[in-house]
Structure 1
Amino acid sequence: MSLIACTIRLGLISALALAATPAWSQPENLPAPVEALVDQGLTVHERFEAPDGLTGYAASAQGQPVAIYVTESGQHAIVGNLVDAEGNNLSSKPLDEFVKGPQNAAVWQRLEDSHWILDGSSDAPRTVYVFTDPNCPYCKRFWDAARPWIEAGDVQLHHIMVGVLKSDSPAKAATLLGADDPVAAFTAHNRGDEVAPSAQPADIEQQVQDNNTLMRELGLRGTPAIVYRQDGKLDVAQGMPDEEKMRAVMGSPCP
């Protein structure tokens, strides 16, 4: 097994990053040990300064950030975090700047470019993306629990409509997306109105399929699947959040 394969534990956020990793311009003239790691599948994002004659490289493998430190001779490399005498992780900052930050931005852009229904004011300062199936009872519970933040104007939810739970879910999702007033139709649905599936133009049906594909590529399972920012980083909640998780998703205590 290669060194890279041994160091990777691909979690949910890594799956998000992998699905939206932008094209990188790899630094030129890489030392031989780093080139060997590139041949194993590693992607080098940027070179950075490191102490004691080391040269650092911010890299990733299958979406997972990896730090590499090359010795002064250029003939040997160490893969892993560099720690100082106080136990501070010196690898965190360059990995956040050169790997995680661009990955998070790419994921967020894919979510923004998906097909969603706005819930709340477009001027609300906090945006949260929710993969929502019309047949999901927990999606309705989340919609209801979010009312205080929505009504206070603190949060806007972007409901990415998917059809994954039942055979008629895609048709119901397409009906909501294709409604004359999707916001009103979605609100009525969450207040108890049944969605009567109706034939929609091919482009609307494709929007649901595109959303389904995005959900799958991001490694999300089940609804609601919620993607939000916390401390400048992306986080995920799957299923109906408990009270503590709800505060994290919404970014504040209940108004």
Structure 2
Amino acid sequence: MQIALVASKPLRLVMPIWLAAAAFSLACAPSFGQDTPAALRALERQGLTIVGKMASPAGLTAYAGYMDQQPVALYLTPDGKQVIAGTLFDANGKDLTRAALEEAVRKPMSEGAWKGLEKANWIVDGRDNAPRKLYVFTDPNCPYCNKFWSDARPWVESGKVQLRHIMVGILTPSSAGKAAALLADKNPGAALSAYEQGLTRTNATALAGGHAKPLDDSGLKPLSSIPPTVKAKLDANEKLMASLGLQATPAVLWRDANGQLNIRQGMPESAMAEVLGPR
């Protein structure tokens, strides 16, 4: 059997979009442990999470890792001094890496992403004892965020779901100022609820007529000058959103019965029961 090592095409958890990535190798660095190759330790210092060894053909020693929710397969060179990130193919062009890599990183990536969401700067919407918790990347000027907020009311008000809005300001020039105003409010949950409720009817009319447009500033004045502490929260939220490969709001993240992280971008109107659970 012939095996070729080529540039890695990383997969994305839940949304398996394979993107191009360059192969690379690292020279030997001082060892931190007798059983862990020094090159892997060097990668860990650069932010890569090493999950552990994974199955590999042809006697190769392979490790699974990930960075910013991008899985990486690492193959140790025979002398143990370098690692190469890539995908193995056999003589028939069959990918010999993907299945093993997915199996190795699925649970650790899911748990790591969920912990990142728990530590984010979010606004509570719903009861703390709600059995189902969802994280929602929300832009205050996003009309579909407002629709999702409105459509989710039956689940939230019945106590079945708690939404945790991770505020970002990416849609229009006033988005950041409005997101900052909400985060800086003495009662962010009440402020968000009043703002969304105040625009629900006009936004629903606009969407029904096929005229989706950013929400106006009625009921929420953007901060003209964002305090450094609040800006740091917004920056962290947007960095987290980018690390998860998300580019649109609302972006909803939840865990299913098996603990698997699920992600849905855009308005999940036809899948509300899937996202929020039984009504």
TM-score, normalisation: structure 2:
0.64
Aligned partner letter, 1:123: N
Amino acid in the other structure paired with 2:51? H
Q: Aligned-pair distance for 1:3? A: 2.1
Whether contact under 8 Å (1:189, 1:195) holds in the other structure is yes
Report the equivalent of 1:163: 169
Alignment of 1:44-193 (within 5 A): 45-47=51-53, 59-60=64-65, 63-64=70-71, 79=88, 96=103, 98-192=104-198
1:223 and 2:229 matched: no
Letter in 2 for 1:11: R
**Segment of structure 1 superposing worse, 119-128 or 56-65:** 56-65
Once residues 11 and 124 of structure 2 are traced to their aligned partners in structure 1, the CA distance between those partners, rounded to angstroms, is 32
In structure 1, the gaps of 5 or more residues are 16-24, 31-41, 69-77, 81-90
C-alpha change, 1:55 and 1:241, in structure 2 (3 Å) is: same
Alpha-carbon distance in 1 for matches of 2:101, 2:16: 17
The answer on 1:201 being equivalent to 2:227 is yes
Equivalent residue of 1:165, what SS? coil
d(CA) in 1 for partners of 2:100, 2:11: 20
Distance 1:48 1:220 in 2: 28
Question: 1:239 matched to which residue of 2?
Answer: 266
Q: Which among 35, 40, 43 is matched to residue 28 of structure 1?
A: 35
The percentage of counterpart residues that share the same residue type is: 38
**C-alpha offsets along residues 91-122 of structure 1, whole Å, 9 cap, x if unaligned?**
979954x4221211111111111111001011
Summarize deviations over 1:138-175 as a string: whole Å, max 9, x none.
00000011111111211111100000000010000000
**Contact 1:27/1:46 (8 A) holds in 2:** no
> In the superposition, relative to structure 1, how do residues 226 and 49 fare at CA in structure 2: closer, same or farther (>3 Å)?
closer
Distance 1:130 1:44 in 2: 28
Over aligned residue pairs, what C-alpha RMSD do you find? 3.8
Q: Give the whole-Å Cα distance in 2 for the aligned partners of 1:149 and 1:93.
A: 38
Would the aligned equivalents of 2:10 and 2:72 in 1 still touch at CA under 8 Å?
no
- 1:65 and 1:100 in contact (8 A); partners too: no
Residue 28 (structure 1) shift: 2.8
Instruction: Give 1:46 deviation, angstroms.
Output: 2.6
AA aligned to 1:64 is P
